A and B are shown apart, each in its own frame.
Chain A
Amino acid sequence: DGGITQSPKYLFRKEGQNVTLSCEQNLNHDAMYWYRQDPGQGLRLIYYSQIVNDFQKGDIAEGYSVSREKKESFPLTVTSAQKNPTAFYLCATADRGLINSPLHFGNGTRLTVT
């Protein structure tokens, strides 16, 4: 099946620990994105990557880091510097830019930090 796999579905961490969320895609899409979805806040862009070994900060990049070593993978690390990390995280991909193709979303990872 072609698609986007985000794992795990639920993740629990103690405050002060870094945690990495996985996003893998086999759609052969160039662009990958991380959004955070909070009730009443919509989707907020954390980081995005158009090609391998290149990525840009979105609106709320502070406290997060990413890497894009392979086309298929775009992991997101939530660091201890992120002040309010508990949220639903969505990974998305797009082929050939958003003007020509829609965003495809993964199932999301719900992170709870206590």
Chain B
Amino acid sequence: AQSVSQHNHHVILSEAASLELGCNYSYGGTVNLFWYVQYPGQHLQLLLKYFSGDPLVKGIKGFEAEFIKSKFSFNLRKPSVQWSDTAEYFCAVTINQAGTALIFGKGTTLSVSS
């Protein structure tokens, strides 16, 4: 069965610091990878996704993620965080190649102080 591991449970940064959140998945075949974000009091929303092609994908609000197949990783990055980036971040992977459902990691809470 697919699984997703997010290594950081809670990350605390100051504004303008750089961010990298780790994500590893278990499936050895073709994968579709996602990062979702949940701002306080809001629904989860899609941040970015990777299906194929360029392993460096760019999402909304200046976020990007790099797919490294050899490491089974899909880490999320942002060069300079803002207070408004305070949220919970979830890495997710499709359960099969057809993409019929998503398996989520346990989430990483990011707290940014101004």
Query: A residues bordering B, Cβ < 8 Å?
Result: 31, 33, 35, 40-45, 48, 50, 56, 58-59, 90, 97-99, 102-107
Contacts and interface: CB of A to CB of B under 8 A. Distances in A.
Interface stretch (B12-20, B61-69, B71-79, B101-109): B101-109
A61 to B, nearest CB: 12
Nearest to A47: B101
B99 interface: yes
Contact of B104 (A43, A56, A102): A43
B44 to A, nearest CB: 5
Pairs of residues from A and B, 3 with the lowest C-beta to C-beta distance, nearest first:
A102-B46, A42-B106, A43-B104
Nearest to A35: B104
Q: Is the interface of A mostly helix, strand, loop or mixed?
A: strand
Of A98, A99, A106, chain B has the most CB atoms within 10 Å of the CB of A98
Interface residues of B, number: 25
A56 B100 CA distance: 10
B94 interface: yes
B7 interface: no
Given A40-B106, A43-B90, A59-B103, A97 B46 contact: no
A43 B32 CA distance: 17
Contact of B43 (A58, A97, A107): A107
Contact of B90 (A42, A50, A97): A42
Contacts of B6: 42
A21 to B, nearest CB: 17
B104 A44 contact: yes
7 contacts: A35-B104, A40-B106, A42-B6, A45-B95, A45-B101, A98-B100, A103-B36
